[in-house]
Amino acid sequence: MQIQIFNNTISDWLTAIIIFFIAVAVLKLFKTILMVKLKNLAKKSKTKVDDMVLDGLHVIQWPFYFFIAFYIALQFIDINPIIYQWSVYILLIVIAYYVLKFCEKLIDYGIKIVIKKKQEKQEDVEIIKLLGTTAKVILWAGIIILVLANIGYNVTSLVAGLGIGGIAVALALQNILSDLFSSLAIYFDKPLKVGDFVVIGDYMGTVKKIGIKTTRIQALQGEEIVISNSELTNAKLQNFGLMEKRRIVFQIGVTYNTAKEKLEKIPEIIKKAINKQEQTELNRVHFKSFGDFSLNYEIVYYVKTGDYNKYMDIQQEINLYIVEEFEKANIEFAFPTQTVHVETHNS
């Protein structure tokens, strides 16, 4: 047992091997116990944190236990300092890799939860996936730089090079990146959503899809309008989908030969027409002015919905009721007319 092999006795080698297997078994046992505890906790807990941790622990496999146990076993034998140093580097890389995979698993789990809540909004799903991918890229870059720094590599020049390269890439992909950042701005600021009726410059229609680079609008004529997200965020946007109630102003005119009693009755007819509707709120009805060919009334009321089709249905019912009541009261609507008075003189 005292025979030496590579500066260590057989007894030392056996001790290291035994320590290695014991360490593997302990680590594996620790993970199993921890998983059982977390599963029991997840059943009782209403939060998703324990579920996320439990899901992340599944990525830790045998290579992780092997390299941890190998490093522990090395403490019981005498080896070349260079070999020992490289074993430390390898251990650091392995730990960093599994930490990275664990964090990726947490990000994926979090994305699944958020997407599940927003499964009816496809535009949100695409942005969430983009954010998840961005987070993973940043995580990979951070871990790699951290590992290089800990194994003795001078990362200052590397970070400077990445900065210069990043600027070059950003300049080359300026338009694409602008659209990507604009899509994030749309996601967080939410100036519009799918289904909203919008007016953007000379375009108007219903929002059909909000993508990572472009937004698609179904125009009133039926064609699809594709607008880049950067153009959309810089344009003046009128969103009728966010309208909670709509202010309506309209006028009607009656003929000049309408009697005073009938003129006084008209506001009551119009008030009844508006109050009959469930989603309306009357503001005012006034005999406003003497027109060129009519006596004009101005009516103002509110529709308690932003839905344009619903507003038109209500306005139609109001108009039909007014026509019906005017016919009953023998009140005539005015239309453009011209009366010519001819004066004759006897010579």
Please check whether residue 99 lies inside any domain of the structure: yes
Contact 228, 296 (CB under 8 A): no
Same domain, 151 and 178: yes
What's the rounded mean pLDDT across residues 182-188?
A: 73
3-class secondary structure, 192: coil
Q: 288 and 320 share a domain?
A: yes
Whether residue 195 is contained in a domain is answered as yes
Give the pLDDT score at 271.
95
- Assign residue 260 the CATH number of its domain: 3.30.70.100
Is 342 within the bounds of a domain?
Answer: no
- Answer whether residue 81 is part of any domain: yes
* Model pLDDT, residue 170: 47
Digit-coded pLDDT (tens) for 216-229: 888 878 888 888 88
For the cut 70, the answer to whether the pLDDT of residue 38 exceeds it is: no
Indicate whether 156 pLDDT > 80. no
Our count of domains for the chain comes to 3
Q: Which of 242, 270, 290 is the last residue of a domain?
A: 242
Give CA–CA dist 292/35, Å, rounded. 87
pLDDT in tens, 20-34: 888 888 878 877 777
Tell me whether residue 184 is in a domain. yes
Q: What are phi and psi of 310, to 5 degrees?
A: -65, -40
Residue 14 confidence (pLDDT): 83
The domain in which residue 144 lies consists of 123-242
pLDDT band at 157 (very low <50, low <70, confident <90, very high): low
226 and 282 co-located in one domain: no
Please indicate, yes or no, whether residues 98 and 131 belong to a single structural domain of this protein.
Answer: no
Residues 231 and 261 in one domain: no
**Are residue 25 and residue 85 in the same domain, yes or no?**
yes
